[in-house]
Amino acid sequence: EIQLVESGGGLVQAGGSLRLSCAASGFTFDDYTIGWFRQAPGKEREGVSCIQISDNSTYYVDFVKGRFTISSDNAKNTVFLQMNYLQPEDTAVYYCAADGLMPVEPGCTYGMNYWGRGTLVTVSS
């Protein structure tokens, strides 16, 4: 059974940082593309950043470029999202998702098949 478990969310002031973790199990980590998505209250879910584990290729949506960094620890089957310079508009539930080997931009744009339960990030002004 594929499982994705997010952690690291919380309350932070504007300008602060958080590091999200996604612990993956139930599949061959190297064969998957894993991404972070978010859904703010009253808004649709949107892709934030994705990584293809096999070649370490990454994709970032424009509004997080230069602020967020996605990375993976293949020995621990874990993907991280380092979020710096957080702003109130970054407030959302952040979800980890995974799918079989796929290019990162379509994965982040159209979504993936397997999802975690999410972790809440709240940025106060």
The string of pLDDT tens digits covering residues 53-99 is 999 999 999 999 999 999 999 999 999 999 999 999 999 999 999 99
Mean pLDDT of the chain: 96
Q: How would residue 125 be classed by pLDDT, with cut points 50, 70 and 90?
A: very high
pLDDT at 40: 96
In this prediction, residue 93 carries a pLDDT of: 98
Is the pLDDT at 46 greater than 90? The verdict is yes
Out of 34-38, 80-84, 101-105, 115-119, least confident range: 101-105
The whole-number pLDDT of residue 10 equals 98
Count Cβ atoms below 10 Å from residue 17 Cβ, excluding itself: 12
Say if CB 5 and CB 116 are below 8 A apart.
Answer: yes
Average pLDDT rounded to a whole number, residues 91-108: 92
* Token duo for residue 74: 């293949």
Residue 33 is which amino acid?
A: T
For residue 86, the Cα-to-chain-centroid distance in whole angstroms is 15
pLDDT > 90? residue 104? no
Q: Which residues contact 23 (CB under 8 A, 6 or more apart)?
A: 3, 4, 5, 7, 76, 77, 78
* 55 token code pair: 């070649």
> Percent of the chain scored above 70 by pLDDT?
100
Whole-Å CA distances, 63 to 68, 78, 86: 9, 24, 11
pLDDT at 112 over 90: yes
